[in-house]
Amino acid sequence: MKFKLEAKDKGSSARAGTLTTDHGDIRTPIFMPVGTLGSVKAVSQPDLKNVVGADIILGNTYHLYLRPGMDTMDKAGGLHKYMNWNLPILTDSGGYQVYSLSHKRKLTEEGAAFRNHINGDLVMFTPENVMDIQRTIGGDIIMAFDECPPYPCTKQYAKNSMERTHRWLDRCVARLAETEPHYGHNQELFPILQGGGYSDLRKQSAEYIAGKDAAGYAIGGLSVGEPAEEMYETSELVCGILPEDKPRYLMGVGTPVNILENIGLGVDMFDCVMPTRNARTGTVYTWNGVMNIKNKKWEKDFSPLDQAGSAEVDKMYSKSYVRHLLRANEILALNILSTHNLAFYLDLVREARKHIIAGDFAEWKDKMVMKLSTKI
């Protein structure tokens, strides 16, 4: 896996590059749609590729381990073949479930014991078996097993959690060195930076993972309830420490504004369920701001869903019609809105890339942040 840094913005820390994997190139900055269970909700793989224009998607180790299970995954030949997706895949390690399922897990130095949210069975995740599971899934980029601390938490908790994450990282690295990819393509490990809301711990974690000479680095433990300004301060701090010649991935972020601001701070890769999850409740992201399609003001608006949108659905269906479908609980509404939002997110990062290459990203970003923050 190679990362080529191709351009830097003149007025910010924004960068444009290309990350090359065995399944294709990823043009950065990039947004990665989330396909937790091997499917991006309500959007087919052909539409992800041809309409949304996704370079890479995500799968989740914890959820895929439970369903369909690793025996099925292995017999299918890995997630790429199983879901008929021939472009890059990144798999999260399940570390976020250590955070989100905190009421159902027990954390020890060995790993995290979960109560399976489907049937209540006990599941034990360790750095070693999480690497083995990700070998079986076959993602091009695989994530280290980490603990995401809650927000807020005490400094001592954040410190203990960060140090455990570092020890787990060492075990992940060792396990990968003992094993081989299952399906003939390379897999690269991204370490995850933690440290909670404490800048000195974040600095310490950034320095530690930077010493691992990885193919890329992830910033974890943000977008968990902290103010946006704290997120930006952390991104700025750690991007100044992480290697310049490797991609930086901000996990679980975020709104269009969050993405543009973090691009300006030096982040290259993003993922979030927001465009699809919020689509299912009627949120529509556009170049002019955020629209709630359920509002009565759209009831008799027969203009296209988004005249400036790039997806076919944007001009094919009216606001009134999509509002009607959503209010009537028609499944087509979820497909239309999810496709639109994902296409918008990909258009947003591609436009950002153009402005980085042109050298005027900072000026463009400031104007866009104002527009994208508007409720229409």
Q: Are 104 and 45 in contact (CB under 8 A)?
A: no
Q: Are 3 and 245 in contact (CB under 8 A)?
A: yes
Question: Of these residues, 55, 92, 314, 347, which one is catalytic?
Answer: 92
55 is catalytic: no
Q: Which two tokens stand for residue 228?
A: 């946006």
Give the list of residues 6+ apart from residue 57 with CB closer than 8 angstroms, or none: 32, 33, 34, 35, 40, 48, 85, 87, 88, 89, 90
306 is catalytic: no
Query: Which DSSP state fits 87?
Result: S
Question: Of these residues, 146, 271, 314, 347, which one is catalytic?
Answer: 271
β-partners of residue 7 are 16
Strands of the chain, DSSP E: 2-8, 15-21, 24-28, 30-32, 57-60, 89-92, 105-107, 112-115, 122-125, 141-143, 188-190, 192-193, 217-219, 248-250, 269-271, 283-286, 289-292
- The catalytic site residues sit at 92, 271
